[in-house]
Structure 1
Amino acid sequence: MTPRKTAGTAGGEQATGPWRPTWSPHRTRPGLPPLTVVHDPGDDYAFMAAALAAHTPQAGRITVHPTPVASAPASLAHDLLRSMGKHLPHDGSPEVVGWAAQAEIAWRAAAAWMSALRIGHVVVTRTHRISSRHFEHLFALRELTGMRLTLLCHGPVPPALSAVLPALAHEAVHTWAAAHRALAATELADPPTAARFAWWEAAAHFPPHPGEPCFLLPARRTPSRTDIQAASCRLDLDATVLPLPAAGRFPPEPDEHTTLLAHRLHARIAHPVHAAALALRILTGRQATQLPHPATPGTNTRTEPGRWTGTPTWAVDLIEAGDCFGNLDRPTRAEGPLRLSGWDQTAVTEAARTCTLHELPAPGSRQGRTRGRPGSTRPGRSTPTTR
């Protein structure tokens, strides 16, 4: 279910620009699983409980509970991101949250994560209260990814959905037993593998709590205990500093400290490109302006669609999500290094701060309390236009 390299319409015509979450009922992609509409006019809690129990990301199925009365075009995309364990930036700065307010970018981010994380079945509750624009975006996402989509209407079917159902292959479900079977459907074209990193188990506190253990961004060599103690003093860190392997020396399976950091990367960074860039920064030890392309981290090679040899398991989904987003954002972009705008670089710095990652200061640095956290001094703010 990897998104197409070039975004196109359901009718097969190729588009040259970024993928947009637009949909027409008369140009439906053939071969999609039938849309399932669960009718619960009496708002029986048993239907809701079954839907919530169906949330099993490790099996490629998520349940999305839309935020009440949130009608902004991007809001349902935000709910999708949260259902995949992603948290939006919380500090409110324009350069960080600007992308999240733009519906097209937010829906591309949701589509990229769905592809990388192998989400093949999406269950949406309370669909009798979502807007016609949200239905359009959901159906566009279904067209792009080929996912199975199950809609629960805990009340009358809304006019926006009734109007398009005749043009869609769909099945109506009216009993709890039939709803239970539909919610448990697991026929995925590209199911998750048992060897993947358990990103769905992330228990990273968000926002970060004061004094939580922190990390130093990996350098070309593994820092010694003396290096860590000196860095703690120079950065004035009032927290435990946990060691990480040197750049380029991460084992295939993460150790305890790397697992803790990986869970933060998976849970605290909602933009796929920023998550991929920070993962590459950690793996390679390079600055944000010198990162390799997500598809070619170091000397790794592709062995099967979306999987890389030599890349630690915790980083594979992050890197692939960044690549998927790039394919949706700029379908005709040339292969080469991951190019980050000035705004993107600022956002990656903010992401490092959110994950409590600190730059190891150079020997003799006078970096003090006011500069101890990445992102504490920010470049000029600007609103993103292409990310």
Structure 2
Amino acid sequence: MLTCPDPPPVTVIVDPGDDLVHTRAALAAHDPPAGRITVHPTPGTDSTLALAHDVLAALGKPVPVAGYRGHDTGPAWALAAAWILATGTTHLLLLRAHFLTQPRLDALLLLRRRTGLRLTLVVHTSRLPAGVDRILSGVRHHFADATALLPAADGPSAADCPLPRPLANRWIALPALTTLLAFDEPTRPCRCSAPLAPDRDFFPPVISQPTQTEVARRLHRATAHPHLAAELATAVFTAASTTQLRTAHVHDLGPAAATADARDSS
């Protein structure tokens, strides 16, 4: 498993008064497109898996994650790490950190080492609980006052409210996906191919900007599985079939992963 050799020190914000102003400021700091997420853990549980799901939910992913054993925490944390790296998330702020158990804090610190996150823990007590203090004693960390790092957040203005999306809650017909799962027989591979121009150069599907934006948003929120999300996104914007997508490997990606080489399995 790859880890960041020297992740940034953990920041511990002390908020002994559990001030609503500071909590609102922490929640207002949540801005995934800017690389910052705020996690408000599910109350009433010390489940490590629940905390992983809280992180995935903060990243905009649907939870719980299907396809894994119910008590296996590893896949959920691995998915969280994959999405943090894929989306360029750099900061994770966790509220109610004084309730962290050792397994949950260990999982967060491992996520920090995997991704290089700037981890901020907000403790709503006058001092760290003994268990949290003991674990952090072996980790680079520093303390900060809530007033300095979590100033009062202004309420949203009318100008900050997002405009309604024209394609929200509507079906979107994407001709490119007609090649994705077009099987001749259940046991035979797809024989379809992406559209080719007369000169054999590939022309990618033409998708309007509003449709691109809405499709990207739906793909982002549709699945917590990075592999499936990548396959769907590639199919939408290239019209590649399942068979072609399965031939692509990491070394087939172009600069900045903007292009990918695929070939027919035959």
TM-score, structure 1 normalization: 0.52
8 Å Cα contact 2:101-2:132 kept in structure 1: no
User: Is 2:118 the partner of 1:143?
Assistant: no
Distance (Å, rounded) in 2 between the aligned partners of 1:38 and 1:112:
27
> Can you give the 5+ residue segments of structure 2 that lack an aligned partner in the other structure?
153-161, 180-193, 196-201
SS in structure 2 of the partner of residue 82 of structure 1: helix
Match for residue 309 of structure 1?
258
Match for residue 158 of structure 1?
129
SS in structure 1 of the partner of residue 121 of structure 2: strand
8 Å Cα contact 1:46-1:176 kept in structure 2: no
Flag the 1:264–1:296 CA change in 2: closer, same or farther, 3 A: farther
Flag the 1:130–1:301 CA change in 2: closer, same or farther, 3 A: same
User: Is 2:24 the partner of 1:75?
Assistant: no
What pairs up with 1:122-271 in 2 under 5 angstroms?
122-155=92-125, 156-180=127-151, 212-216=170-174, 218=176, 249-250=204-205, 255-271=209-225
Residue 34 of structure 1 and its aligned partner are, at CA, apart by 1.7
8 Å Cα contact 1:37-1:151 kept in structure 2: yes
Name the aligned partner's letter for residue 230 of structure 2: A
Q: Deviations over 1:127-173 (max 9, x none)?
A: 11232211001001111211111000113523321112222221112
Residue 282 of structure 1 and its aligned partner are, at CA, apart by 2.5
Distance (Å, rounded) in 2 between the aligned partners of 1:108 and 1:269:
14
Identity value in percent: 33
Residue 80 of structure 1 and its aligned partner are, at CA, apart by 1.1
Q: Which runs of 4+ in 1 moved over 6 A?
A: none
Distance (Å, rounded) in 2 between the aligned partners of 1:271 and 1:66:
21
Q: Deviations over 1:22-81 (max 9, x none)?
A: xxxxxxx44x32211111122111221121121122221111111112333221111111
Please point out which of 19, 42, 52 is paired with 2:17: 42
Residue 254 of structure 1 and its aligned partner are, at CA, apart by 5.0
Please point out which of 66, 69, 76 is paired with 1:106: 76
SS in structure 2 of the partner of residue 215 of structure 1: coil
Aligned length: 229
Flag the 1:173–1:218 CA change in 2: closer, same or farther, 3 A: same
What pairs up with 1:337-356 in 2 under 5 angstroms?
none
Name the aligned partner's letter for residue 165 of structure 1: L
Please point out which of 235, 256, 278 is paired with 2:232: 278
Aligned CA RMSD, in angstroms, stands at 3.5
8 Å Cα contact 2:205-2:238 kept in structure 1: no
Distance (Å, rounded) in 2 between the aligned partners of 1:117 and 1:173:
27
Residue 259 of structure 1 and its aligned partner are, at CA, apart by 2.3
Residue 294 of structure 1 and its aligned partner are, at CA, apart by 5.6
Flag the 1:250–1:166 CA change in 2: closer, same or farther, 3 A: same
SS in structure 2 of the partner of residue 218 of structure 1: helix
8 Å Cα contact 2:102-2:135 kept in structure 1: no
Name the aligned partner's letter for residue 45 of structure 2: A
Flag the 1:175–1:75 CA change in 2: closer, same or farther, 3 A: closer
Distance (Å, rounded) in 2 between the aligned partners of 1:151 and 1:74:
18
Flag the 1:219–1:180 CA change in 2: closer, same or farther, 3 A: closer
Flag the 1:175–1:260 CA change in 2: closer, same or farther, 3 A: closer
Please point out which of 36, 41, 51 is paired with 2:26: 51
Name the aligned partner's letter for residue 147 of structure 1: L
8 Å Cα contact 1:100-1:106 kept in structure 2: no
What pairs up with 1:299-378 in 2 under 5 angstroms?
301-302=254-255, 307-310=256-259
Distance (Å, rounded) in 2 between the aligned partners of 1:86 and 1:138:
18
Flag the 1:48–1:294 CA change in 2: closer, same or farther, 3 A: farther
Flag the 1:83–1:147 CA change in 2: closer, same or farther, 3 A: same
User: Is 2:90 the partner of 1:120?
Assistant: yes
Distance (Å, rounded) in 1 between the aligned partners of 2:2 and 2:71:
24
Residue 123 of structure 1 and its aligned partner are, at CA, apart by 0.5
Flag the 1:175–1:216 CA change in 2: closer, same or farther, 3 A: closer
Distance (Å, rounded) in 1 between the aligned partners of 2:46 and 2:208:
41
Q: Deviations over 1:69-101 (max 9, x none)?
A: 2333221111111111111368xxxxx342675
SS in structure 2 of the partner of residue 150 of structure 1: strand
8 Å Cα contact 1:123-1:151 kept in structure 2: yes
